[in-house]
């Protein structure tokens, strides 16, 4: 079980290889890679960059709690959350979420769960730099609805 918050980019293939290396009980690995888009979410024009801010220590602790919740809900052999912070350009990778289990259903469901919960529960603040200048990205009700669907 791994959580990393970092400024540097990551190699998706190498990370996924390491996730399941040597564990022949794993039957499925599910992953999601989030990228910086060049269009602001509300369609207000192109975004030239995004800066993600966080509180070191608090962020890693919260991500570990979210990861532990996935571990509680599904029989997972391995999980990985890598989330970047700092200034990112369109096309840059922001996040990698990967889960591994003996069965694909657990891997797929837990990966979707982690993505939905990270979107609403991870303590990151996003500042987009666009044509009208910088603006803080607001939370979306659609993200809250997706998280609520996982409530048990």
Whether the pLDDT of residue 27 is over 70: the answer is yes
> What is the per-residue pLDDT for 42?
57
Domains of the chain (ranges; CATH) run 2-137 (3.90.1170.40)
Q: What is the mean pLDDT of residues 4-29?
A: 96
Q: Can you give the pLDDT at residue 129? A: 85
**pLDDT attached to residue 148:** 82
Q: Are 32 and 97 in contact (CB under 8 A)?
A: yes
Give the model's pLDDT for residue 63: 96
pLDDT confidence of residue 106: 97
The pLDDT value recorded for residue 132 is 79
- What is this structure's pTM? 0.90
pLDDT at position 134, please? 87
pLDDT value at residue 1: 81
Contact (CB, 8 A) for 52 and 118: no
- In contact, 71 and 79? CB cutoff 8 Å: yes
**Phi, psi (5° rounding) for residue 3?**
-130, 130
pLDDT tens figures, 55-105:
999 999 999 999 999 999 999 999 999 999 999 999 999 999 999 999 999
Phi/psi-derived region of residue 90, left when phi > 0, alpha when psi is between -120 and 50, beta in every other case: beta
Task: Convert the pLDDT of each residue in 111-151 to its tens digit.
Answer: 999 999 999 899 999 988 877 788 888 878 887 788 888 88
* Span 39-52, pLDDT tens digits: 655 555 666 789 99
Residue 24 DSSP class: T
1 alpha-carbon distance from chain centroid: 14
């Amino acid at each position: 079980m791994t959580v990393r918050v970092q400024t540097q980019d990551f190699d998706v293939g190498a990370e996924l290889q390491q996730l399941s290396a040597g564990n022949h009980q794993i039957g499925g690995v599910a992953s999601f890679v989030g990228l910086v888009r060049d269009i602001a979410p509300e369609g207000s024009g192109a975004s030239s960059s995004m800066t993600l801010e966080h509180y070191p220590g608090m962020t890693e602790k919260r991500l570990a709690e979210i990861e532990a919740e996935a571990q509680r809900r599904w029989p997972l052999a391995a999980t990985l959350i890598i989330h970047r912070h700092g200034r990112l350009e369109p096309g840059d990778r922001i996040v990698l979420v990967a889960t591994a289990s003996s069965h694909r259903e657990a891997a797929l469901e837990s990966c979707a769960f982690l993505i939905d919960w990270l979107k609403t529960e991870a303590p990151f603040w996003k500042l987009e730099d666009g044509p009208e200048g910088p603006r803080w990205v607001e939370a979306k009700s659609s993200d809250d609805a997706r998280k609520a669907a996982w409530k048990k």
